[in-house]
Chain A
Amino acid sequence: MALVRIEGDDLVVVIEGLNRLWAFKSSLTIPLANVRGATADPGITAEPKGIRAPGAHVPGVITAGTFHQDGEKVFWEVKDPSKAVVVELADEKYARLVLQVDDPRATVALVEKALA
Chain B
Amino acid sequence: MVAVGRPRAFDEDEAVRAAVGLFGGRAYDGVSVDDLVNHLGVHRNSLYKTFGSKRGLYLIALRRHLADDVRPLLDALAGASDAAAALRLVTSADLGLLLLAAIERAPVDEEVASEVKAALAAVDRAIADALGVPADLAAALTSAALGILLRGNPDNAATALTRHLAPLT
Interface residues of A (CB under 8 A from B): 36-44, 47, 69-70, 72, 86, 88, 95-96, 108-109, 112, 116
A47-B44, A72-B45 given; A88·B34 CB < 8 A: no
Whether B44 and A44, one on each chain, are in contact in the complex, defined by CB atoms closer than 8 angstroms, is: yes
Closest A-chain residue to B38, C-beta based? A43
A69-B45, A88-B48, A95-B49 given; A41·B56 CB < 8 A: no
Whether B55 and A39, one on each chain, are in contact in the complex, defined by CB atoms closer than 8 angstroms, is: yes
Whether B48 and A96, one on each chain, are in contact in the complex, defined by CB atoms closer than 8 angstroms, is: yes
Main secondary structure of the interface of B (DSSP, over half): helix
Instruction: Report the tally of A-B residue pairs with Cβ distances under 8 A.
Output: 50
Whether A37 and B33, one on each chain, are in contact in the complex, defined by CB atoms closer than 8 angstroms, is: no
- With A and B bound together, what is the CA distance between A9 and B48 in angstroms? 22
> Which A residues are in CB contact (< 8 Å) with B34?
43
Smallest Cβ distance from A48 to chain B, in angstroms?
A: 10
- With A and B bound together, what is the CA distance between A89 and B111 in angstroms? 21
> Which B residues are in CB contact (< 8 Å) with A109?
108
Whether B54 and A39, one on each chain, are in contact in the complex, defined by CB atoms closer than 8 angstroms, is: yes
Whether A37 and B52, one on each chain, are in contact in the complex, defined by CB atoms closer than 8 angstroms, is: yes
- List which B46-79 residues lie within 8 A (CB) of chain A: 48-49, 51-56
Smallest Cβ distance from B104 to chain A, in angstroms?
A: 14
Closest A-chain residue to B54, C-beta based? A39
A-B contact pairs, 8 of them (CB 8 A): A37-B53, A41-B32, A41-B44, A44-B33, A70-B45, A86-B48, A109-B108, A116-B110
- With A and B bound together, what is the CA distance between A104 and B49 in angstroms? 20
> Which A residues are in CB contact (< 8 Å) with B108?
109
Q: How large, as a class, is the contact surface on chain B? A: 10 to 19
Is B146 interfacial (CB 8 A cutoff)? no
Is B80 interfacial (CB 8 A cutoff)? no
- With A and B bound together, what is the CA distance between A39 and B49 in angstroms? 13
Whether B32 and A43, one on each chain, are in contact in the complex, defined by CB atoms closer than 8 angstroms, is: yes
Smallest Cβ distance from B59 to chain A, in angstroms?
A: 10
Smallest Cβ distance from A88 to chain B, in angstroms?
A: 5
Choose from B45, B55, B111 the contact partner of A37 (Cβ within 8 Å): B55
> Which B residues are in CB contact (< 8 Å) with A41?
32-33, 44, 54
- With A and B bound together, what is the CA distance between A69 and B43 in angstroms? 13
Is B89 interfacial (CB 8 A cutoff)? no
Choose from A44, A88, A116 the contact partner of B53 (Cβ within 8 Å): A88
